[in-house]
Chains A and B, each alone.
Chain A
Amino acid sequence: MIRAGAAWLALPLLFCGYARAGTLEAAVTTPAGSPVEDAAVVVEPVAATGPHRPPATAAVEQRDREFMPYLTIVQTGTAVDFPNRDAVKHHVYSFSAAKFFEIKLYAGKPMQPVIFDKPGEVALGCNIHDWMEAYVLVVSSPYFAKTGSNGTAVIANVPAGRYRLRLWHPRQKAPPPQREVEIGAAPVKLALALEVAPRVVKQKPPLESDRY
């Protein structure tokens, strides 16, 4: 779904056919060389803020008592839906400074989406399912992508120019140093290293236990 979303985001850019648009391909690995999934790669124009797109929507589903996807990158102002695909209710909350909210016990699709209007990291949790965990990275730039299971993220249709490259991961051990990158017609390929703590799978009671 996330990938589908990304594809959905990327397609208009490709079809816009902007001249002098470039592509950034970043391969994120740990220092040891293994690919890092769910890393956010964001470029922001150094000179000015990027073009503001009309408010977009995104969704973080709850399926099988897990948030899907684990990481969602949205541009500031994006309204995010939290559709509940499970039979049980969920209580989604965030105490993060970028977005402090809660959607009390609900089933199905909540009445209103949550608008992430401030850039920053938002940790999502479910008050009744402690193991459920997801992140929303709110960025001001429209140019971003997250790494797949192969550790590669591709940002296409980036107008040529100079950008600040930002790499972020929910479990990164330390924020990586900021760097700039020149994007031209030719695709830029970057190899990035990031130390990431392994994901701790919190204990999740089997579903049957819910019946009781």
Chain B
Amino acid sequence: MILKSLQHRIVVVFVGLLALVMALLLTLVTRSNERIVAGEMKRELAAGTHVFKRLMEQSQRQLETAATVLAADFAFREAIATQDQPTMRSVIRNHGLRISAQVMMVISPAGLLIADTQREAAPPGSFPFPDLVAAAEAAGKGTGFKQMADGRLYQIVLVPILAPKLIAWVAMGFQVDDRWARELATTTGLAVSVVRRHGPQADLLASSFDDSRRVALPEALMGLTGDAVQVLSLGAEHYQSVQMPLDQDIAVVLQGSVEQAQAPFHSLQETLLTVVLGGIVVFAFGSIMLARRIVRPVNDLSAAARRIEAGDYTQPVPSLPADEIGRLAVSFDHMRERIASREEKILRLAYIDTLTGLPNRTRFLEIFSQVPAGSSGAVAVLDIDRFALINNALGHPVGDRLLSEIGLRLKQIIPRPNRVARLWGDEFAFLLDGANKAAVTAFAESILAKLRDPITLDGQRLDVGGSLGIALYPQDGRDVTTLLRRAELAMVAAKRRHSGFAFAVDTGSGPAHEQLSLIGEMREAMARQEFVIYYQPKLDLASGKITGAEALLRWQHPTRGLIPPLRFIPFAEQTGFICEITPWLLECAIDQTARWHREGLAIVPSVNLSALDLINPGLVAHIGGLLEQHKLPAGKLCLEITESALMDDPELALAHLSELSALGLKLSIDDYGAGQASLAYLKTLPVNELKIDQTFVTAVADSPKNAAIVRSTIMLSHALGLTVVAEGAETPADLSWLGINGCDVAQGYGIARPMPTDELAGWIAGFDARADGVPATIDFARAGKKRNDRTAVRSNA
């Protein structure tokens, strides 16, 4: 754990190694010291023992010599020869003093004590140490250590008194006491003790020891046997001890103190230990300082790296001393600068739309992800009306500049950064966090107003507009994808309705999960024949006859009932499923038309084609095949195409349209006026019919502006050779206005609502009958209802 830090590791390793080496050193020194001490002690003891022996020999020789010289003294011999007790005692006392003998005795050649300094009266009896006499008889003199009757120990020298023949022995005793032992101890360097042995027991007779050790000595000596060197404990001290016999049961014990021998080494070891510990402390301190010096810049670098990791590129890496780490820091700082600039660039590329300088879709998604959960607000999607047309007509550079200009305007309106983004093409998104529906409405109006200002590019004035779709969160969804999709759908709806803006909640698309389930169910619905076709009649205003009907798709859901087209058609278009629905629709319509024709009902039905259908390469052949199969002349089928459907792939669309036209099919431009198409453009298309958008037609009789537009459109269309169909004719006034103004065909609630297929024939028969009696007074009672349904009809395109 502790080793996770480099600093600690350095310190631990350095100090640990030093401590190890020092411990090894100390162990070696201690071992060597112990060996030296042991050897030294052995040597000291051996040397001391040797000295002791020599001293003993020397002293013995000296005593013998002294005794011999004394015994040779003529007067002494003469006095002894007198055999007079007082004289003898006197002379031995006198001569004893001469050689410092404490005890003097005269012994007859027969071994009888004849004079003794210790006793006044000559003691009867024999000399107590016959072994000395025996030794003297053999060697001329005898020496030994003997304990006298007074309990004291004496070194006794026995020499003959010769005149010149042996006339007596003289024994001289030199007391062996503590003083004697201490003198020898001083000379030998060993402790000297003299004991009398009886078995393992030992009586201490003399010793150089002080009282405390003297007390412990006899017991310790119990363990000392033979002449081997042994270590004895005296109290706390230890002694290397050796025993030497002095005489029969008298022995001397020589001892060297182990502690004393160790003392200098102990003090050396203590000094060494102090030095080592001090060294380790100094080394540890030094290591810590060094490690700090190494680690601090590393830590600084590490902190800088963490800042960079967290995305903070502003703080420069601290400048460090110009060593290796310092150079690393410099490189590191350079790296920081480069990364910062690169990241900025990448961010720009990744998050900024280069054309407008606005955040892009990715950035928008990110920004939304930062919206706190549980908060409310809105996501709005803006699509520029007629942008594809401008792009096509004026070229991409102009389109790009237009988008750029729009971006600028949007930025002006929304000063908060990152609240507007360009999603793609001409689609922009807004994040209105915290806004309620009213605020969003106001916002939408301000945006649309701002867009309505004309934009001049290269002296060319461009009128642009936009449609806004708004999804509110959390009501419409919680994740940005759902919200964007729903806002887009709402935008499409707004565009269809030409209402400027629409809320997702109002455009009928249910919650996301319902949509998904509908998408899944569409395929099954096809198989189960849940899709049905409704027809809305088209009235030929000149003849007052029903000449056509628009085929409209309905979904009869088993559980949800009749589902309006807006709830599923957009998804069918998005998922491409529309490419399966349209052929089915075409087949049904063609089959039904052929049937009607056989029954004598000569009407021309219209079928809506989507953008996807229009670029479907098999479309033309399919329609051709169906017509042939049902023996229906091509002129008896009309195909309705919205302007925007043409715009996805104008060239391919134009090619297909030309083929269809060549087959003889009638082609109609749907929702004319809601889109960007101009008449000049439409003129180039092989179409026969123009359907004026209901926004212009509804209440045309009451709106002079609408009336002017419709009237001029009719005139222009006629001038171009096109039939004009007015959608959304809801009242008899509208119908009569249209009739008066030369419109060819009218469609709307003012004539009839869409109706199931099998009702159409009956309804036409009824209509004809009514028309015969009361022309132009059609049943308009139902007119003006359910405009939504009409919207649904258009959405089929």
Q: Which residues of A contact B (CB under 8 A)?
A: 93-96, 100, 123-127, 130-133, 170, 202
How many Å from the CB of B88 to the closest CB on chain A?
13
Residue numbers in B under 8 Å from A100 (CB-CB): 81
Closest to A124 in B: B164
Q: How many residues of B contact A (CB 8 A)?
A: 10
Closest to B72 in A: A130
The prevalent SS among residues of A at the interface is strand
Residue numbers in B under 8 Å from A93 (CB-CB): 74, 163
Contact with A along B75-90 (1 / 0, CB 8 A): 0011001000000000
Residue numbers in A under 8 Å from B72 (CB-CB): 130
- Complex CA gap A93/B163 in Å reads 8
Residue numbers in A under 8 Å from B162 (CB-CB): 125, 130
- Complex CA gap A202/B140 in Å reads 11
Q: Is the CB of B165 within 8 A of A133?
A: yes
Q: Which residues of B contact A (CB under 8 A)?
A: 72, 74, 77-78, 81, 162-165, 167
How many Å from the CB of A185 to the closest CB on chain B?
40
- Complex CA gap A1/B41 in Å reads 69
Residue numbers in A under 8 Å from B81 (CB-CB): 95, 100
Residue numbers in A under 8 Å from B167 (CB-CB): 95
Q: Is the CB of B165 within 8 A of A127?
A: no
Residue numbers in A under 8 Å from B77 (CB-CB): 95
How many Å from the CB of B55 to the closest CB on chain A?
26
Closest to A121 in B: B165
- Complex CA gap A124/B167 in Å reads 12
- Complex CA gap A62/B334 in Å reads 129
Q: Is the CB of A123 within 8 A of B165?
A: yes
Residue numbers in A under 8 Å from B78 (CB-CB): 95
- Complex CA gap A72/B287 in Å reads 107
10 contacts between A and B (CB under 8 A): A93-B74, A95-B81, A123-B164, A124-B164, A125-B162, A130-B72, A132-B164, A133-B164, A170-B165, A202-B164
Known: A93-B74, A125-B164, A202-B164. 15 other contacts (CB 8 A): A93-B163, A94-B163, A95-B78, A95-B81, A95-B163, A96-B163, A123-B164, A124-B164, A125-B163, A125-B165, A127-B74, A131-B164, A132-B164, A133-B165, A170-B165
How many Å from the CB of A1 to the closest CB on chain B?
21
- Complex CA gap A42/B165 in Å reads 22
- Complex CA gap A94/B164 in Å reads 8
Closest to B77 in A: A95
Q: Is the CB of B165 within 8 A of A130?
A: no
- Enumerate the 7 nearest inter-chain pairs by beta-carbon distance, A residue then B residue, closest first: A95-B81, A125-B164, A123-B165, A95-B163, A133-B164, A127-B74, A125-B163
- Complex CA gap A7/B255 in Å reads 72
Residue numbers in B under 8 Å from A95 (CB-CB): 77-78, 81, 163, 167
- Complex CA gap A124/B164 in Å reads 7
Residue numbers in B under 8 Å from A132 (CB-CB): 164
Closest to B82 in A: A95
Residue numbers in A under 8 Å from B165 (CB-CB): 123, 125, 133, 170
Residue numbers in A under 8 Å from B74 (CB-CB): 93, 127
Closest to B83 in A: A97
Closest to A132 in B: B164
- Complex CA gap A131/B74 in Å reads 14
- Complex CA gap A93/B74 in Å reads 10
How many Å from the CB of A89 to the closest CB on chain B?
15
Closest to A128 in B: B74
Closest to A202 in B: B164
- Complex CA gap A126/B72 in Å reads 11
- Complex CA gap A86/B74 in Å reads 22
- Complex CA gap A116/B78 in Å reads 19
How many Å from the CB of A114 to the closest CB on chain B?
16
Residue numbers in B under 8 Å from A133 (CB-CB): 164-165
